[in-house]
Chain A
Amino acid sequence: MKAYRKYFLKKLGWFAITFVFAFVLNFTLPRLMPGDPVAAIVARLAQGLSDASGVQAIYQQYSELFGTNKPMYEQFFIYIGNVLRGDFGFSFSQYPRTVADTLKSSILWTIGLQFPAIIVGWIIGNVLGALAAYLKGGFDKVLMPLSIFASNFPAYGMAVIFMVIFGVALEWFPTSGGYGFDLIPEFSWNFIKSVITHYQLPFWSIVVIAIGGQAIGMRSMAIYELNADYVKFARFMGIKDRKIIGYVFRNAMLPQVTGLALSIGTMFGGALITEIVFSYPGLGYTLLNGVMGQDYPLISASTLLITLMVLLANFTIEILYGIIDPRIKAAQAD
């Protein structure tokens, strides 16, 4: 247990370092660009906003938030202070709403959609990949090209195809939004039903993409393990194939968990675009609105939140991995 605590603390430290680094990047990248960001942003903004006092308010608010007249390090601490208070400033495109207000709801939608979809896709993909490696033959020959195709197909492509087939042509499910446009979010049967039907298409298109990639990974991991020396030794010690398959799949599964930790960022990125295709009210859609409305504070806050979510997911997986893989525990015991 002491060993595991060491592992946990090490991962936690690494998580903290990465987050600080990501935070700094999020702060500096836009500032590395030549020109005065506030002036440029307000100039863009002034075109879209007719309310002159609104422009003025944002300019002041933003100059304060950014403190562009102050030295860089001071700006940085002002930024940290604001972020810690959950203050991301006003949204340009949805003034006078604040960024925090805009993001509050979209985070929940994104978490509710993406994590279940990625996990379900991961599980199904791993089961199929393991079966393909073990059964070979026809099953493998059909599944593998399909998986390669699915994993190479862009996420939004799958979303569009799903929408056209199941939404537009068959009219089984609605094509956009997180719930019926005529409803207001509340705890009623009608609303929940609407949320569930709106959930299906984005959910399954993320799942299918995830299945493809995971199935391929699991299959080659399993084939690699099937060729490992311990398989040979166990076979020649007379161990039954079924038992050996048990060893192999457990061992092939473990790298897949790490694989999930490493690729969750990429999967998340693809899923954000799926949200956009379905106008799902999550972070991806918010990000799109931010880009469309040249809404810098919104983009900056969204990317920071996305990074934080990916890092957290990654951290959680690593922690779970430490529990299930004895090799980690063993390595830590030394």
Chain B
Amino acid sequence: MGKILLEVRELTTKYVTRFREDVYAVDHVSLQVEEGKALGIAGESGCGKSTLALSLMGYYFAPLHYISGDIIVDGRNITGMDPDTVRKAVLGRDVAYIPQAAMNALNPTQKVINFIEDVIKVHDLGADKKEIYERARILFETVGLPESVLHKYPVELSGGMKQRTVIAIAVLLSPKVLIADEPSSALDVTSQKMVIKMLMRLMEDGLIGSLIFITHELPLLYNVTDDIMVMYAGQIVEKGTAREIVFDPLHPYAKGLMGSIIVPEEGVRDVKLTAIPGAPPNLKKPPSGCRFAERCKYVQPLCKVTSVGFKELDNGRTYRCIFSEAELREAYQNG
């Protein structure tokens, strides 16, 4: 077992809406990421996975608020730290983040190199303009981006190019953990592949210590990650290796999520159908029992009243359901 770079224990955060309502979008989430490994987080949109990504940074601003739990980065607990220290010492250096809409992740009116200068300067990594330029040039060369990109405004770059530039900047300070929130969802297939390849290369080259990859496309995770967590309504419902979750999901939600992926026909590529009827529960008032109960095919009266804890299998795989492994498998067999 490698060195644990990121450990999260029982992290809970909330959103405060405009109408002063609390939305618990991340509810007692725990996870671990080892050096050299990639963790996938899957779930429908609105299940809290993007909020989890933001919460993992340990740096909170309205409307997101920290409530409880620990985030330990490379042995250092960052939850108790002063926000300014987190900003300077952790962000970008230990933990880096690629936002969901990376297309707009760069300031449109600033040249790429100027932003890189700002990033290096804020971390007090000294360096005059020449050195910074040299460093950026080398990095861009490593990740296979032309040097000319440095002198361009983001609007002058194509979608795929912009995305790769964002990733390059995110790994500028060789972060221990890189959190990528749907980094490829807005791109065409070729660019998607390039982005995925690039992330894998970065891991191999040791430019990033570990990767957390968030997406709603389970099959994609199978190619990229080692372990997968499935998230539903702010909670983790199942955790296991990529192979297990993709080919042998246990939790009815994970099962449904796999079922909802259809191979699209020619011409309808954008169309995605949800095989799971219904919508995630309102997290302003989360249900007291199993949160998936309302939409679950196999729901029992008990599901709606008792809160459900994790069940752990011998191989370390965990899931959150009242049924045993055998019961679930039987149910799936019978359709």
Contact = CB atoms under 8 A, between A and B. Distances in A.
B106 A236 contact: no
B107 A327 contact: no
A229 B105 contact: yes
Given A238-B119, A239-B122, A326-B109, A230 B104 contact: yes
Contact of A233 (B90, B93, B105): B105
A330 B104 contact: no
Nearest to A231: B107
B104 A237 contact: no
Given A330-B153, A330-B155, A237 B107 contact: no
A240 B90 CA distance: 13
Given A229-B105, A247-B110, A251-B109, A236 B92 contact: yes
Nearest to B98: A233
A236 B97 contact: yes
Nearest to A232: B99
A128 to B, nearest CB: 22
Interface string B86-130: 011011110011111111111111110001001100110000000
Interface in A211-260: 228-230, 232-240, 243, 247, 250-251, 254
B106 A230 contact: yes
A330 B109 CA distance: 10
Interface string B37-73: 0000000000000000010010101000000000000
A312 interface: no
A333 B157 CA distance: 12
Contacts of B54: 232
Interface residues of B, number: 38
A327 B170 contact: no
Nearest to A331: B155
Nearest to B157: A330
A221 to B, nearest CB: 13
Interface string A140-182: 0000000000000000000000000000000000000000000
B162 to A, nearest CB: 11
B182 to A, nearest CB: 12
B88 A238 contact: yes
B107 A247 contact: yes
B122 A233 contact: no
Give the size range of A's interface with the partner: 20 to 34
B91 A250 contact: no
A286 B38 CA distance: 75
B233 interface: no
Contacts of B87: 238, 240
B96 A236 contact: yes
B156 interface: yes
B93 A238 contact: yes
B109 A239 contact: no
A87 interface: no
A234 B118 CA distance: 9
Contacts of B170: 233, 237
A228 B109 contact: no
A64 interface: no
Contacts of A243: 118, 122
B169 A229 contact: no
B166 interface: yes
Contacts of B153: 326-327, 330
A235 B123 contact: no
A251 B166 CA distance: 19
A237 B92 contact: yes
Contact of B156 (A250, A325, A333): A333
Interface of A: 228-230, 232-240, 243, 247, 250-251, 254, 325-327, 330-331, 333-334
| Top-8 shortest CB links A-B | A238-B91, A236-B97, A233-B105, A229-B104, A238-B92, A237-B92, A230-B107, A330-B156
15 contacts: A229-B103, A229-B105, A235-B61, A236-B91, A236-B92, A237-B169, A239-B118, A247-B110, A251-B108, A251-B109, A254-B109, A326-B109, A326-B111, A327-B155, A330-B152
Given A229-B103, A327-B155, A334-B156, 14 more contacts: A229-B101, A229-B102, A229-B105, A230-B104, A230-B108, A233-B97, A233-B102, A233-B170, A236-B59, A236-B91, A236-B96, A240-B122, A330-B155, A333-B156
